[in-house]
Structure 1
Amino acid sequence: MKFRKAITSLLALSLVGAMALTGCASKSETGTDYPKGSLEFIAPSGAGGGWDLTIRTVAKVLQDTKLVEANMPVTNKAGSGGGVNLAYMQTQKGSEKLISVYSPPILLIELNGSSEFGYKDTTPLARLITDYGAFVVPKDSKYQTITEVMDALKADPKSVKIGGNSAAGSMDHIQFLIMAKAAGVQNLKEIDYISFQDGTATAQILGGHVDLLTTGLGDVQSLVESGDLRALAHTGAERVGEGVLAEIPTCKEQGIDGVFENWRGLFGAPDMPDYAVKFWEETLAKMVETDEWKTEAAKHGWAPAYLNQADFNTFLEETNESYKLILDEIGLSSN
């Protein structure tokens, strides 16, 4: 009898143990304990740029607000305008941990043939903010307004040397061409655009080696504030930011009826599990409503532009088509 009781007790303990183990596996599989351990936040650029600043700010706000308690170290995977990281993401299919930030280049580098991968080779999660393109000149430049630059290009498309950090056919180039087209400049292909993919475009404009730098508003904020560069315009629909940023006129104010949004959003690995996608959609929706996030956005001149996953996917599809039209016009579309 005692022997039977002992066997029964052992079986009961084994069953409890098995249930516990099964419960743990089920918990992990359904993602109810997600996220745990360390996540992999990636900026597909070097330190200090717009992508780097955005994803580090996301990690900081999520931590400060305790919306996420897992570790969120940020690593930089620079190269090919984001293409190096896109290729890396293909090796992480199904990952629940990888989160990367991107902006228009995730569309442009596939459209112009720089990368075989694009946004459809990731899991778009949410659009967060919109930054804007900025057109800056040396402090002693003869150009006082963006209209003067466009008038010079109308007279001679080779008369102004334009510099940018992105490749030809990618964001810095395209945002300027969109504004030039809106200003009535013809022969967009003939405009001299010089690409400094080594990240030296700012040094080139400071050294007077190019006449105008097309870049992100946040990327030159400190140099505009210090007076080393003058901002002729930004590409937003209305003025943004605080202090010196708020003093920068829009292209629209100066009679150029165009807008270019340097939107930024988060993307997971291809085939990210549904539970992880759901977690990030819910968490990021909460994050953008926090005072901490709003303070950071105002400081950097970011306009709120949150889109949930479904709306972000629609936006990406539509924006992809509009970028393709510009690339077709200047002969840089790979399709």
Structure 2
Amino acid sequence: MLKKKVLAALMATTLLVTGMLTGCGAKSTQTDTAEASKDKYPKGKMEFIAPGGAGGGWDLTIRTTAKTLKDANLVSVPMPITNKPGGGGAVNLAYMQTKDGSDSLISVYSPPLLLTNLNGSTEYSYKNTTPIARLITDYGAFVVPKDSPYNSMSDVIDSLKKDIKSVKIGGNSSAGSMDHIQFLMVAKAAGIENIKDIDYISFQDGAATAQLLGGHVALLSTGLGDVEQLLKSGDVKVLAQTSSKRVGEGVMAEIPTVKEQGIDVVFENWRGLFGAPNMPEHAVDYWRETLSKMVETPEWEEACKKNGWDKAYLDKDDFEEFLGKVNEDYKGVLSDIGMLKK
């Protein structure tokens, strides 16, 4: 009887240990499978998105990023570019909400991501994405015809202080968006209080330059990267750039900053990459590491030099902090002109 009890106890103990080991093995297998899945990331093709049309700043940035990642042998999977224009980026932002949790979508964005939410054009904001990294910074520029009486931003500001309607401003972005806001930030920093009364005309399909040269507006507010050929043509004068120090080479480096002209403000047309809402941690970690390597490559250095971009890399945490700060800055300007969504 005693032998039977001992034998039964031994068998029970053996079964318990075996079960525990089997359970541990199952958990280990599940963990290993999950880790293996992450190790193989990215799988298949990525979806890289420009939320504007072909040839624009968003399009150039995302295409240059994909090309650099490929040329530097950092990413081997296909990275086709999709253009999803509309609403200053709002159309694509709505599309991104349908991809909640996706690890295969990356979109480029810049200040309109914040501005379209603040002015009420879309209910979604940068908080409805997964910020990954800021890559570059472009800047604003203010352009007048070659025969304009204005030779500096001080001339423009003096004219506006005498008569707020005396200088008609043109731009390619909608009212309350980038070209408009960058000029208003300069005007506000220069001491103009009634900035909401400044005349700003928005032109579609890049027509603002033609309107400037045709004499329909007195000053063009645009991107610094868009003025080099204009400047070389001899048809215009570029009064200022909105960087903290002069950027570019050749004729571009001759453009003074607004700070040099006594106006203490900087406007950055930053561009960064964003994942879908709730992008999985393994995907975020992968792209943080990969992009941090990309911005140190000779290929990226050459691309930035070619396109007149300032390298301005910020990793996820610093980028999110930056977004929060500039969002508050934009709120202030939009509030001043009565365009802040309540």
TM-score, structure 1 as length reference: 0.89
AA aligned opposite 1:239: R
User: 167, 172, 189: which one pairs with 2:179?
Assistant: 172
| Partner SS, residue 252 of structure 1 | coil
Partner of 1:265: 272
| Partner SS, residue 181 of structure 2 | helix
Structure-to-structure mapping, 1:233-252, within 5 angstroms: 233-252=240-259
Partner of 1:306: 313
Partner of 1:322: 329
Query: In the superposition, relative to structure 1, how do residues 191 and 26 fare at CA in structure 2: closer, same or farther (>3 Å)?
Result: same
AA aligned opposite 2:143: V
Identity %: 66
Provide the alpha-carbon RMSD of the alignment: 1.9
Give 1:230 deviation, angstroms. 2.3
CA distance in 1, matches of 2:193, 2:206: 29
Partner of 2:21: none
Task: Indicate yes or no: 2:199 matched with 1:192.
Answer: yes
Structure-to-structure mapping, 1:1-335, within 5 angstroms: 26=33, 30-335=37-342
CA distance in 2, matches of 1:142, 1:90: 49
| Partner SS, residue 31 of structure 1 | helix
Instruction: Show structure 2 runs of 5+ residues with no match.
Output: 1-25
For residues 226-255 of structure 1, the C-alpha deviation after alignment (integer angstroms, 9 at most, x for no partner) is 333321111001000112211111011111
Alpha carbons 1:89, 1:269 under 8 Å: kept: yes
CA distance in 1, matches of 2:236, 2:64: 25
CA distance in 2, matches of 1:25, 1:42: 32
Give 1:199 deviation, angstroms. 3.0
Give 1:140 deviation, angstroms. 2.7
Give 1:203 deviation, angstroms. 2.4
Structure 1 stretch displaced more, 102-111 or 293-302: 293-302
AA aligned opposite 1:185: I
Give 1:207 deviation, angstroms. 2.2
Alpha carbons 1:154, 1:186 under 8 Å: kept: no
Give 1:299 deviation, angstroms. 2.1
Structure with max Cα Rg: 2
Alpha carbons 1:30, 1:275 under 8 Å: kept: no
Partner of 1:15: none
CA distance in 1, matches of 2:312, 2:136: 5
Alpha carbons 1:231, 1:248 under 8 Å: kept: yes
CA distance in 2, matches of 1:142, 1:93: 53
Count of residue correspondences: 315
TM-score, structure 2 as length reference: 0.88
Partner of 2:10: none
Structure 1 stretch displaced more, 30-39 or 127-136: 30-39
